[in-house]
Amino acid sequence: MAAVALKSCRKGLPHILRDGAVATLSPKALGGVRQKSSVQYATRPELPKLAYCRVKGKSPGVVFLPGYGSNMNGQKAEALEEFCKSLGHSYLRFDYTGHGLSEGVFTEGTIGTWKKDVLFVLDELTEGPQIMVGSSMGGWLMLLAAIARPEKTAALVGISTAADHIVTAFKSMSLEVRKEIEEKGVLTVPTKHSEEGTYTFTIGFLKEAENHCVLQSPIPITCPVRLIHGLKDDDVPWHISMQVAERVLSPDVDVILRRHGQHRMAEKDDIRLMVYTIDDLIDKLTTLV
């Protein structure tokens, strides 16, 4: 298993990571009040408005892609904003259609819908190549966006990447069970990450998702790729990150497995590792320039 070599902190990083743990920039450092970027809305012809928060700064910028049913206000997304501010790099986080503060109906969304959201954000709300950081389903969308927009992709960081996962899970079920699900019209998956305790996927969602699967053949991505996954992930098996690493064409791919890491990867040490990994990539990319 490859492991990323993390360099010592550059200017700004110690403010985020103090005493070996994650910490937001202190109120004192921000003049007494923690400054968050304000929510803005991107208008698209005949499509729902997308809510986003943007910090302007240097390149490469960082774009955070949340997971299924999640939003841009999670711990990882906010920690990354503080980190990018401290380094002076641009940063963007946003909500997919039907998620968080964005318009649209969540249950009508598809992988294709949310892929279009990511491409719109890259095309219209960012300048130059970006480091995309994708969490769970966001890791899948990150790969799809990198394939579609190689010129906008500087590097990729997948957190608990769920590439093809729901499709693979459905196809791995017995023929009997699949027929039963098709008759009902929905697949119900237990999860600790929703109030209902389950995620429900329609057959239409599953069939549409098949059009976006990436693991059956080589993945035409050549930028640096970092994949972080927890061995205690009960939602998305860690071997999916290994499959992604095997299939991407890039010669610069590292997989980092966290022995006690869970799906959300939101513990302090998990976020610290994510931030260090991105810091190392920024250093690598700016050194190459």
Alpha-carbon span 53 to 85, nearest angstrom: 13
Q: What are the CB-based long-range contacts (under 8 Å, 24+) for 6-14? A: 6/276, 6/277, 6/279, 6/280, 7/279, 7/280, 7/283, 9/279, 10/87, 10/279, 10/283, 11/87, 12/83, 12/86, 12/87, 12/88, 13/83, 13/86, 13/87, 13/275, 13/276, 13/279
| Apex 208 CA angle, 222 and 112, nearest 5 | 50
How far is residue 249 from each of residues 176, 213, 252, measured CA to CA in Å?
A: 37, 16, 9
- Which residue has 């819908």 as its token pair? 113
How far is residue 199 from each of residues 99, 105, 189, 233, 248, measured CA to CA in Å?
A: 14, 15, 5, 16, 29
User: Is the four-CA dihedral 81, 83, 85, 90 of positive or negative sign?
Assistant: negative
Selecting among 15, 89, 229, 263, the annotated active-site residue is 263
Selecting among 95, 117, 164, 233, the annotated active-site residue is 233
Amino acid at 117: D
Catalytic residue flag (residue 233): yes
Catalytic residue flag (residue 174): no
β-partners of residue 58 are 89
Catalytic residue flag (residue 252): no
Selecting among 70, 86, 102, 136, the annotated active-site residue is 136
Catalytic residues: 136, 233, 263
